[in-house]
Structure 1
Amino acid sequence: MTVSALSDRDLAETAKLSREPSLRPARRVIELRRGGQALGGSYLYEGDGLITGWHSHEVHQIEYALHGVVEVETDFAHYLLPPQQAAWIPAGLEHQAVMNPDVKTVAVMFDPALVAAPGDRARILAVSPLIREMMIYALRWQIDRADGDAEDEKVSDGFFHTLANLVSEALDHEAPLSLPTTEHPIVAAAMAFTKAHLDSVSADDVSRAVSVSERTLRRLFQDTLGLSWRTYLLHARMLRAMALLAAPGQSVQQTASAVGFDSLSSFTRAFAHFCGETPSTYRKRVAGE
C-alpha cells in the first residue's frame, strides 16, 4: 500500500474506516462445507494474487504455505505466513487473507468439535514434517465433498481426528510473525506510513506525516501497543524481508536495501536475531523446500 500521496487527514480517516465495525462493509460468513457434515476436509489454492475480503468460517482452518507468501489480517494483528509455516484461524474469527502472486497453499478445515482449545485469535505455527505430510495427504478429501462411501468416511473421520490432535499440540508453539493493529487513528496512520516507507522512514518522517511531535509519537506507540516505534519498525522490516526473500531471484543485498539497511552485515545480524537463521540460509531453505 502506498500512502505518500495521502494527507494527514486521509491517513487518519483510512485507519478509522478499516477499524471501526460500523464503517466497514458487511463481513461474510462462508460455509466451506456447503451444507455438508464432514468432520474435516481440505482445499488447494494455486494461482494469481488474491485478496479474499473480510469473512469468517463455520469451521477451524489451518493453512500451510507450500510456496509464496500469504498475509492474514484480523482486527487485532497483521500476520505474515511465509513458506513452510502454517496459519491457524479458529472458527468464527473475522479475517482477510492476501495471497501474493505465485502462491500455493493447502488448507485443512476441522469441525469445531475436533479441537478442544482453539483460542479466539489467529496464530502462525512452525509445523512439524508429520503435520505437513498429513495436510498434503488430506487433499484427497475436499471440504465441500458430498456424503461419500460410509467406509471411506470412517477412514477420513479417524484421519482428521488424529490430525486435529497434532494441530492442538502445535498451537502451543507459536511463531512471532505478526504486527499489532489498533483502533487509535493516529497510531494506525503512523503504522501505515511506516510500513509504506520501510526503505527510508524515520521517526521524524512519521511524526510529520501524522501531525504530532516525535515525543508524542513515541509515547502513543508505547501506551497503545506496548512497544516502541523503533521496535515496531524493526519487526515490520523483518517481516517484509522474509516475504521478499521468499520471492524467486531476490538477493539478500536487494532485500537489505528495500527494508532500509545500508549495511549488509547489520541486516544479517538483525535478521538472524529475529528469525534464528541468516538471510542466506533462510532464502536457500525456502527455495529448497
Structure 2
Amino acid sequence: MALAAPPDLSDTDVPVQPLARTYPRGLFIEPHAHVWGQLLYAMSGVMWVETPHEALVVPPQRAVWLPPGVPHGIRVVSDLQMRNIYLRPALAATLDDRVQVIEVGGLLRELIVGLVEQGDQSAQPAADAPQYYEALVSLALLELQRAKRSMLKIPLPDDSDRRLLNLCQAVMAAPSLDISFEQHAQNTGASVRTLARLFKEALGMGFAEWRRQVQLATAVAELIQGVAVSTIARELGYSPSSFSDMFRRELGVAPSQFMTNR
C-alpha cells in the first residue's frame, strides 16, 4: 500500500499542512501524537479514533479534531478515504482544547478537499494561489469554529490493565449482542467478576451500559451512511423492534427518524 509522504511539521511558515491517504479495512495505526493540531476527515469509510480517555467513531460527514499533543490510534472499520489537515499550534489554539467529533457540512467538506488539493505539490499554482489559499484557510477555521459537535464518543479505560482495554477494543470491533460478556472475559483471560469490577472502577458503569453506548455510536455511524435500520439491528444482534425500542429509549427518537431530526 503506497502512502503519501508525511507532512513536514517543522515548517512553521505555512498555516496548515494537508494530507490525503487511503487505508484498507482492518488496519490499525499505533498510537502517536503531533505537535500540530490535526483534523481527521473520512470522505468515505468508517474509523474508530482512540485517545487515552475515549474512542470516537468517525463515519463520512464527521471529522475528529485533535488538539496538539493528544496521543491517538486509528482502527479502520471499512476501506477509508481520509483527508487530514494539520494546523500549526498558533492556529490550533483558536479551536477546541479538547478532542471533538465535528459534523462536516457541505461547505466545510469542500474547504477540506480544497485545502488538500491546494497542498498538492504537483499542481501548478495560479497567480492568485497565495491569496486563494489564505482565504481557504481563514474560511475553514471559521467553519470549524461554528460546526456542530457530535455525540459519537465512548469512554475508554487507560492501559493500566490491558485485559479491560483489550475487552473494550474487542467490543468496538464486534459490538453484537451475540458475543456475551462471558465470551469476552474468556478471550481476555480474566474472570467475569474481575472484569465487572474493573468496568465499574475505570468507567463508572457496567459492561451492558458501556456496550450499549458503543452500539448506539455504531448505529448512528451506519444511519449516516444510509444503512437500513433492519440491517443495523441484525448486525448488532437485535430484532428490528427491540433495536428501535433501545434506540428510542436512549436517544429519544426512533432510528428511522434520527436523520430527519438532525
Task: Sort the TM-score into its range (normalised by shorter chain).
Answer: 0.7 to 0.9
> Cα distance, 1:89 vs. partner?
1.5
Cα distance between partner residues in 1 of 2:54 and 2:120? 27
The answer on 1:59 being equivalent to 2:31 is: no
Structure 1 residue aligned with 2:3: none
- Per the alignment, residue 19 of structure 2 pairs with 43
The amino acid that maps onto 2:48 is E
Q: State the distance in 2 between where 1:48 and 1:203 align.
A: 29
Instruction: Show the 5 A alignment for 1:149-228.
Output: 152-170=129-147, 173-183=149-159, 184-192=161-169, 194-195=171-172, 196=174, 198-206=176-184, 210-214=189-193, 217-228=195-206
Q: Structure 1 vs Structure 2: percent identity of aligned residues?
A: 22
Corresponding residue to 1:230 among 205, 208, 216: 208
Q: Is the aligned partner of 1:241 residue 2:243?
A: no
CA drift of 1:126 comes to 1.7
Q: Conserved in 2, the CA contact under 8 Å of 1:70 and 1:98?
A: yes
Q: Which position in structure 2 is the counterpart of 1:107?
A: 84
* Amino acid of the structure 1 residue aligned with 2:199: F
Match of 1:82 among 59, 64, 77: 59
Partner SS, residue 30 of structure 2: coil
SS in 1 for 2:211: helix
TM-score (norm 2): 0.75
Change (3 A) 1:179 1:83: farther
Does the CA contact (< 8 Å) of 1:115 and 1:168 recur in 2? no
The SS at the match of 2:112 is helix
Shift, 1:267, TM fit:
0.8
Change (3 A) 1:151 1:255: closer
Structure 2: 5+ residue stretches without partners: 1-5
1:244-255 mapped onto 2 (5 Å cutoff): 251-255=228-232
Report the residue type matching 1:39 in the other structure: P
Question: How far is the alpha carbon of 1:69 from its aligned partner?
Answer: 0.7
> Which structure carries more relative contact order (alpha carbon 8 Å, separation 6+)?
1
TM-score normalised by length of structure 1: 0.69
SS at match of 2:33: strand
Cα distance in 1 for residues equivalent to 2:182 and 2:206: 14
Deviation of residue 200 (structure 1)? 1.7
Cα pair 1:64 1:105 within 8 Å, conserved: yes
Aligned residue in 2 for 1:116: 93
Aligned residues: 252
- Range 105-114 or range 81-90, more displaced: 105-114
Residue by residue, what CA displacement relative to the aligned partner does 1:66-97 show, whole Å, maximum 9, x if unpaired?
Answer: 22112211222221101111111122222122
CA displacement 1:225-260 (0-9 Å, x = unmatched): 122222111012223334556778x65334323212
The DSSP-based 3-state class of the residue aligned with 2:60 is coil
Mapped partners of 1:129, 1:244: distance in 2 = 19
- Give the residue type in structure 2 aligned to 1:89: L
Cα distance in structure 1, aligned partners of 2:11 and 2:185: 51
Shift of 1:197: 6.2
User: What are structure 1's unaligned runs of at least 5 residues?
Assistant: 1-29, 285-289
Call closer, same or farther: CA 1:111–1:150 in 2, change over 3 Å. farther
Q: Equivalent of 1:268, from 244, 248, 262? A: 244
Are residues 197 and 111 of structure 1, via their aligned partners in 2, closer, same or farther at CA, if it must alter by over 3 Å? closer
Give 1:212's aligned amino acid: S
Query: Does the Cα contact within 8 Å between 1:31 and 1:57 map onto a contact in 2?
Result: no
Stretch of structure 1 that moved more, 54-63 or 190-199: 190-199
Distance 2:55 2:229 in 1: 24
Relative distance call for 1:137 and 1:233 in structure 2 (3 A) is same
In structure 1, what is the Cα distance between the partners aligned to 2:244 and 2:97?
35
Q: Distance in 1 between matches of 2:157 and 2:53?
A: 5
Q: What secondary structure is seen at the aligned counterpart in 1 of 2:69?
A: coil
Distance 1:111 1:194, change over 3 A: closer
